[in-house]
Chain A
């Protein structure tokens, strides 16, 4: 990554800024203000995805031959910065950053041709069906069965914590095709090209913030063509491991965290501290904010090195390091947000959080999102492999 001032890059920044200032509808901006986790309000986020696609900018990280932008690393970072400065809702990760890149690596030409365009355009939304009630950290013990029958598999079992399954029209999932040998050996990776299959039932789960985000998915004799398998039968574990690299690595996260911190700082300047000045003038608050600024800066530096191809990103521990750093920083920033809004954060505003809601928010934008964002952030150290498991993985790379 080139860090010297660069006139071309500044011109690019202006071009991006102009588009991001004009293209999003008021509903999309509202969705950005009402985003309280990685997963923003579904309809508006997907509408925004399609607008970005029309401009050719829905997948900056993808290779050009699959619809990527061909931007340099610097340009991609500038795009992420300008995007986040405006508080626009992030595009959903499952298609663009998980199954899409996986299919580019391991999908058949038919699977690529069939699925990549819908992922790129935002026509399709994919949900991830890995976890089961009995198989969380110990994912390899999953037991949803797929039994070959003619050209199909017949699925029975259930998945849980399947984020946005109630919105999805596609699903990628892990199923058990053999009980022989090591449990990792009998797993197969499948694609469902629709969610309205006979025998498939989705039930949303209400989260701590009062909103349905995760789901349970039940399979009763659901038929899936064997042609929808990625990789070989019983080799789904290595496919999943490949995909987890995308899930835990991913693109630049720090501009979003920076935005959250900047907003908190701005609101603190207008908030009385209870000690006769503003919270932003409170030395105790300043020190804590300063610590987060420093932590965020180091994470930003780490991210910039990694996206520039520094060997740091080739470290076998890299995906786990990234996951632990970004999730724990997210949680700390979320705590600071609730500290800034104080007592006002106690109002449960789940109704005002719907895009287009008639319910007036109490207090400002930060008061609206701080508490649900804090609550949802608790999950960042749980999903995509808990931080305990990630630390184990890091430690394993250190043992000689």
Chain B
């Protein structure tokens, strides 16, 4: 095992990169993020054409049966290009859970790209543990009724398919809810995505899976590997752009990269990036081998959050004033990393779990 991408994977990355370089310059991305919808149906159609919405899913639902390595290979490229289309929300998060509960019909719509999915799981503290869900489900006639609040649901106010986690009896369960049913407060996130807080008040729901704790953990773990890949892609792009800037920006008659303090900071950025990427690639291989443990996910999520933040902060500092503007990708890449860190448990959360030797947080009482 050498942990490199296969020829097909390299080809896929190249194809995606070329497509984004053509249609998704930073300026184009900014215009898309600021548009009313916040993402581009044309770009989405292009992703569908390239098979990227179908990539991780089984052939039975029209998927390409791609591996986690395939998905990570693409996600890094998306991270570097700051893709705001709902690929993470729909394919990785909602699609990941739908695949785990084997809802073939809905999954087929996600895989074909015709429907945009959203996963409503987190409730405010960035704690991914399904055992901590407080949204409740109660039996109501033939179906169920959900009550509670989900926060920062990516594409939560505009999705066609809404997958919701809630506590049914004692354990976490997975439901499908009419996306127009919950009360949604929509907003844009600091990293230019659309999201919403969703309030459920005895909202009708269809049960997809009860006793879903283990299943949800596995699905979320896989999704976190992909999210981490986006952050690592963004981290690599920050390093590349900053190294380039330090080689061309001159002060005192020389490139700033020749000042030892700047040079050493660039070296530290590279060290951080290589650490984060090593952990990403190794953890991806563990996932592929079916050997991904909760500790591995905690390590990955913590390292990508910490090291990515460091690289982003150094990138801004090395750029000086121009690093503080909205007009350069630098700040946007950094904000993407901050957002990935905040979702599903920030670095501090995962570090504490690691230090305590806990795979998951203890369940709260009540």
Q: Give residues of chain B (240-265) contacting chain A, Cβ–Cβ below 8 Å.
A: 251-253, 256, 259, 261-262
Distance (whole angstroms) from the CB of A206 to the closest CB of chain B: 4
Set A272, A338, A382: member contacting B324, Cβ < 8 A: A382
In the bound complex, do residue B345 and residue A274 qualify as a contact, i.e. CB atoms below 8 Å apart?
A: yes
Q: A343-B125, A343-B343, A346-B152 are in contact. Are A275 and B352 (CB under 8 A)?
A: yes
In the bound complex, do residue B361 and residue A343 qualify as a contact, i.e. CB atoms below 8 Å apart?
A: no
In the bound complex, do residue B189 and residue A346 qualify as a contact, i.e. CB atoms below 8 Å apart?
A: yes
Whether B213 is near chain A, meaning CB under 8 Å from some CB there, is no
Secondary structure type dominating chain A contacts: mixed
Chain A residues closer than 8 Å to B331, beta-carbon distance? 208, 375
CA distance A160 to B324 in the complex (A): 12
In the bound complex, do residue B152 and residue A347 qualify as a contact, i.e. CB atoms below 8 Å apart?
A: yes
In the bound complex, do residue B325 and residue A205 qualify as a contact, i.e. CB atoms below 8 Å apart?
A: yes
Set B188, B343, B355: member contacting A348, Cβ < 8 A: B188
In the bound complex, do residue A160 and residue B321 qualify as a contact, i.e. CB atoms below 8 Å apart?
A: yes
CA distance A161 to B252 in the complex (A): 19
In the bound complex, do residue B151 and residue A276 qualify as a contact, i.e. CB atoms below 8 Å apart?
A: no
Q: What bracket does the count of chain A residues touching chain B fall in?
A: 35 or more
Q: Give residues of chain B (330-361) contacting chain A, Cβ–Cβ below 8 Å.
A: 331, 335, 338-339, 342-343, 345-346, 348-349, 351-352, 355, 361
In the bound complex, do residue B362 and residue A276 qualify as a contact, i.e. CB atoms below 8 Å apart?
A: yes
* CB-CB nearest in chain A for B363: A276
Chain B residues closer than 8 Å to A371, beta-carbon distance? 190, 338
CA distance A335 to B363 in the complex (A): 28
CA distance A388 to B261 in the complex (A): 7
Whether A391 is near chain B, meaning CB under 8 Å from some CB there, is yes
Q: Give residues of chain A (257-306) contacting chain B, Cβ–Cβ below 8 Å.
A: 271-276, 282, 284-285
Chain A residues closer than 8 Å to B316, beta-carbon distance? 208, 378, 382
Q: A207-B325, A343-B151 are in contact. Are A274 and B126 (CB under 8 A)?
A: yes
Whether B7 is near chain A, meaning CB under 8 Å from some CB there, is no
Q: Give residues of chain A (207-246) contacting chain B, Cβ–Cβ below 8 Å.
A: 207-208, 210, 214
Set A271, A272, A347: member contacting B189, Cβ < 8 A: A347
Distance (whole angstroms) from the CB of A260 to the closest CB of chain B: 18
Q: List 17 A-B contacts (CB under 8 A).
A: A136-B251, A138-B253, A205-B327, A206-B326, A274-B127, A274-B349, A276-B361, A276-B362, A285-B348, A343-B126, A344-B124, A346-B343, A347-B189, A347-B190, A347-B195, A362-B185, A382-B323
Q: Give residues of chain A (341-378) contacting chain B, Cβ–Cβ below 8 Å.
A: 342-349, 362, 371, 375, 378
> Counting chain A CB atoms within 10 Å of each CB, which of B129, B191, B348 scores highest?
B348
Q: A208-B331, A272-B125, A382-B320 are in contact. Are A346 and B195 (CB under 8 A)?
A: yes
* CB-CB nearest in chain B for A350: B188
Whether A35 is near chain B, meaning CB under 8 Å from some CB there, is no
CA distance A350 to B342 in the complex (A): 19
Q: Give residues of chain B (163-208) contacting chain A, Cβ–Cβ below 8 Å.
A: 185, 187-191, 195, 197
